[in-house]
Amino acid sequence: MSFSTPPLHAPLTQFATADGQLLVGGLPLTRLVERVGQTPFYAYDRTLLTARAQALRAALPPGLKIHYAIKANPMPALVCHMATLVDGLDVASAGELKVALDAGADPRQISFAGPGKRDAELCQAVAAGILVNIESFRELAVLAAASERLGLPARVAVRVNPDFELKASGMKMGGGPKQFGVDAEQVPALLAEIGRAGLAFEGFHLFAGSQNLRAEAIAEAQQKSFALALRLAEQAPAPVRLLNLGGGFGIPYFPGEQPLDLAPIGDNLAQLCAQAATALPEAELVIELGRYLVGEAGIYVCRVVDRKVSRGQTYLVTDGGLHHHLAASGNFGQVIRKNYPVAIGNRMDAAAAETLTVVGPLCTPLDVLADRMPLPAAEIGDLVVVFQSGAYGYTASPERFLGHPAAIEVLV
């Protein structure tokens, strides 16, 4: 008989500890809780955000532009911080556009993608002078009318739904039938229409998918995106000035997952930048990342309010749950529920001593933060920390469900 050991979470190297406490922005967790004044809360560590952006830049070719996709975490203070670290911001709504502009980002470095942009949002985008990634013939018509009315040609790129998919991606957002972008085969007609309407054509946007941990798959998708953009550029009404090759860089959330190896992606992008220098001499290459930039710099903290045993299984019931952190509960796109990395933040030196299930206060069996996880013996009042929570946390959760208090977000 052979026993295989269960897979483990990738080691958490981001946050340090001291005297058994997790350190967040240099503060011991219990002190941070006092400073925040309540649990539950999200905390994002500035130093970690900066370090991640710098490490990413060091691994990628110097000419490549890095954009932050705000939807991963639109907290205004965090967006202000990110705006100083990246070359541009990508927004997915007029609400996010406001956050980006308020953060002081240069409108020339803001782009807007997403299906179903409302007429008013498209007008706001033209007035703001940002780049709009066109995703339908209707959007083009609305932009043309807005340009005429404002006397300002809309800056546009075409978001292409490619004729391939991103392999091994957590969420596919290109290839086959999709609500995103315009199918590659319809793009020539759209380009002709952009030319007739006299809009300021700037380039292409291709986004194949999200949460990918396989460097070769990402590199392959970027090569194919580049090749497709080269073909489409032949029919463009103006030289390509911007080529957004998407992103999809994943972070390890679940047992058995390993951090993404940036080296092959950097090599591949360096080759593409070199090719672009001759094939698309006016073009800047851009990648847009959300979770890779911010996901590992954030934690969610809640407090144990009850401890109970049911038929041999010990439960820690906390004041936090899926109403603040849907993704950690396993209900934000996961097919099979797996545990996020979870710790007892005021007992970081204690060895795992019990198998505990951590749940929230909601009246639904879906409200689970950790299912049968080896953890240190924990008591009422202890602090449960959910790692990898800097992206798709608070704003991706049904906060009003059951009417519990809101969480707070702090940048430390």
Binding stretches for ligand PLP (CB under 6 A): 69, 71-72, 90, 113, 207, 210-211, 247, 288-292, 391
Whole-number minimum distance, CB 245 to ligand PLP, in Å? Answer: 11
Whole-number minimum distance, CB 234 to ligand PLP, in Å? Answer: 24
Whole-number minimum distance, CB 139 to ligand PLP, in Å? Answer: 15
Whole-number minimum distance, CB 256 to ligand PLP, in Å? Answer: 19
Give the list of residues 6+ apart from residue 304 with CB closer than 8 angstroms, or none: 316, 317, 318, 378, 379, 380, 381, 382, 383, 384
Owner of token pair 């008989």:
1
Which two tokens mark 359?
Answer: 């749940």
Whole-number minimum distance, CB 243 to ligand PLP, in Å? Answer: 14
Beta sheet of 17-18, edge-to-edge order: 17-18, 21-24, 27-28
CA dist 41 and 320 (Å) reads 9
- The residue among 211 and 397 lying less far from ligand PLP, judged by its C-beta, is 211
Which two tokens mark 291?
Answer: 């979770």
**Residue of closest CB approach to ligand PLP:** 290
Whole-number minimum distance, CB 171 to ligand PLP, in Å? Answer: 7
Whole-number minimum distance, CB 191 to ligand PLP, in Å? Answer: 20
Which two tokens mark 205?
Answer: 């946007």
- The residue among 222 and 357 lying less far from ligand PLP, judged by its C-beta, is 222
Q: What number of other Cβ atoms are within 10 A of residue 322's Cβ?
A: 24
CA dist 177 and 161 (Å) reads 8
Whole-number minimum distance, CB 73 to ligand PLP, in Å? Answer: 9
Name the DSSP letter for residue 320: -
- The residue among 172 and 404 lying less far from ligand PLP, judged by its C-beta, is 172
Give the list of residues 6+ apart from residue 17 with CB closer than 8 angstroms, or none: 23, 348, 349
Question: Is the bond into 40 cis (omega within 30 degrees of 0)?
Answer: yes
Asked if 399 and 406 count as a contact pair (C-beta separation under 8 A), the reply is yes
Of residues 252, 234, 249, the one with CA closest to residue 338 = 252
Owner of token pair 């070769």:
216
Name the DSSP letter for residue 11: P
- The residue among 100 and 391 lying less far from ligand PLP, judged by its C-beta, is 391
- The residue among 242 and 289 lying less far from ligand PLP, judged by its C-beta, is 289
List, in sequence order, every beta strand (DSSP E) within 216-329: 242-247, 284-289, 298-310, 313-318
3-class DSSP state of 346: coil
Q: What number of other Cβ atoms are within 10 A of residue 232's Cβ?
A: 20
CA dist 15 and 12 (Å) reads 7
Phi/psi-derived region of residue 194, left when phi > 0, alpha when psi is between -120 and 50, beta in every other case: alpha
- The residue among 88 and 290 lying less far from ligand PLP, judged by its C-beta, is 290
Instruction: Give first-to-last CA distance, the chain, whole Å.
Output: 50
Whole-number minimum distance, CB 238 to ligand PLP, in Å? Answer: 23
Q: What number of other Cβ atoms are within 10 A of residue 373's Cβ?
A: 20
- The residue among 253 and 292 lying less far from ligand PLP, judged by its C-beta, is 292
Whole-number minimum distance, CB 244 to ligand PLP, in Å? Answer: 8
